[in-house]
Structure 1
Amino acid sequence: MSYQWLTLWRYADTFLEAAWLTLQVTLLAFALAVALGLLSALAKSSPLAPLRWISHCYVEFIRNTPVLLQIFIIFFGLPSLGITMSAFTAGVLALGINVGAYLSETFRAGIQSVPKGQLEAAWVLGIPRRQIFLNVVLPQAARAVWPAIINNLIQLLLGTSLLSAIALPELTGTATVINARTLLYIQTFSVVALVYLVLSNLFSWLGTLAGRRMFHPPLVTPVKKSAWWWARKWLTNPLKRERAL
């Protein structure tokens, strides 16, 4: 058994390269997904009917078709139209478009959670629409849906395993190649599962930390109350005096 793990250890550099490639795909696809999701959410909230229709069709198509089929359409289907790309580019594009549809609904829910009274007050004060969105709507919407955004990021990370179907040497694809060479299926997939687990928990921890830094800053420095302050508060509160008596 130890010999089997020693054999697998020889592929440590290969696993690290696959993990790095997986991180690259995840972060690039997520950046694309955030941009598409935000644009789609704004289009769906637009007063222009064509924009709402385009956004609706995009979200409905992506949410009601398999992710693997979308990957195949981009990697195998687009070359028939004269559009060729590498497996890396196709993977980033496919996963970014897929997760962008889900983030669209997430962002739209966050935007709708902002009280309309704040928007009306900003309009009355003559604040430009761009500043209203950037300084009033966006911070509150992001705070409301931040956990869902991090959850989509983790799902995107796990979804990179599907890119092994187009021969991208990410973690799962690399594990398949190593299995063919060593026949150590349990050991190899256990290592890959551990790497996914570590990366998922890392994203979750970093997301929680970033959320606390961005959305829960200390507004004021807490001031320690003196004993005299508490005594005066008790003396000026008749309800507390009656309870004490």
Structure 2
Amino acid sequence: MEFDLDYLVQQLPALRAGLLLTMQVSAIAILLSVVVGLLGASARVLRLPLLSPLIAAYVEFIRNTPLLVQLFFIFFGLPSFGLTLSLFWSGVLALTLWAGAFQVENVRGGLAAVSPGLGEAARALGLTRWQYLRLVGLPLAVRSGLPAMLNTGVSLVKNSAYVSAIGLQDLAGVAFDRIASDFRAFEMLAVLLVGYLALVLSLSAAVRLLEHRLQAPFRR
């Protein structure tokens, strides 16, 4: 089968809309998963009586079950409990919960890398454990854990293609619909490869820039 450029040009409006939707879902889920990671890691480090075991169980559950099954449960299963979400927010929630579990461990690893002397200095200054985390521990943990957090973000962008399984017309959803209706697999799969590669490379470049800026004050 030859590559049909004219056909691809005709599909550009739909593919562009799908790409924008993929970017929206991924961006929101990445931001929310970082928040989940920061709060979850803080609760585990502080060893809050009820919350810490629940977060540990959540992390283990998410990391040891397939993302696709989690997505199906959120979209098809939650309505049985009276909670119905749109396609968009079902995808965002599934990706957020999945990536959030990994971000909890990424941030917790970053906190473990912070020098214990800083904690002793914080206590000597009269800071509470929460103040230490907010002002000292978490900022340093994010710096040291940024590569792992980037890897999770990259994985989230790639795994966002799963949301097409529930009918969301993201980039993958549009491409798969065209393959099913027009049988132009070569063109659509090529678009998927290039599209996700561009998204991942852009995210990596943005994080490298952020990492450079975070480290800049420490350079002489």
- Distance in 2 separating the partners of 1:165 and 1:107: 30
Which residue is 1:239 aligned to? none
Unaligned runs of 5+ in 1: 221-245
1:8 Cα deviation from its structure 2 partner: 1.6
* Aligned counterparts of 1:151 and 1:87: Cα–Cα separation in 2: 26
**2:53 pairs with 1:50:** no
Q: Which runs of 5+ in 2 are unaligned?
A: none
Distance in 2 separating the partners of 1:193 and 1:138? 36
Task: Write out aligned runs for 1:1-245 (5 A).
Answer: 4-217=4-217, 219-220=219-220
CA offset at residue 82 of structure 1?
A: 1.3
Q: C-alpha displacement at 1:218, in angstroms?
A: 5.8
Instruction: Specify which structure has the bigger relative contact order, considering alpha-carbon pairs within 8 angstroms and separated by 6 or more residues.
Output: 2
1:83 alignment partner AA: L
How many residues are matched? 220
Q: Which residue of 2 aligns with 1:237?
A: none
Identity percentage of aligned residues: 38
Inter-CA distance 40–128: structure 2 relative to 1 (3 Å threshold): closer
Q: Which residue of 2 aligns with 1:238?
A: none
Partners of 1:138 and 1:3 lie apart in 2 by 50
Distance 1:68 1:90 in 2: 12
Deviation at 1:51, TM superposition (A): 2.0
Shift of 1:133: 2.1
Distance 1:103 1:50 in 2: 20
Q: TM-score, normalised by structure 2?
A: 0.94
Task: Give the alignment's TM-score, normalised by structure 1.
Answer: 0.85
Partner SS state of residue 49, structure 1: coil
Q: Aligned partners of 1:191, 1:98: CA distance in 2, in Å?
A: 26
Change (3 A) 1:132 1:43: closer
Structure 1 vs Structure 2 CA RMSD? 1.6
> Alpha-carbon deviations, 1:213-236, whole Å to 9, x = none?
12233655xxxxxxxxxxxxxxxx
Q: Which has the larger radius of gyration?
A: 1
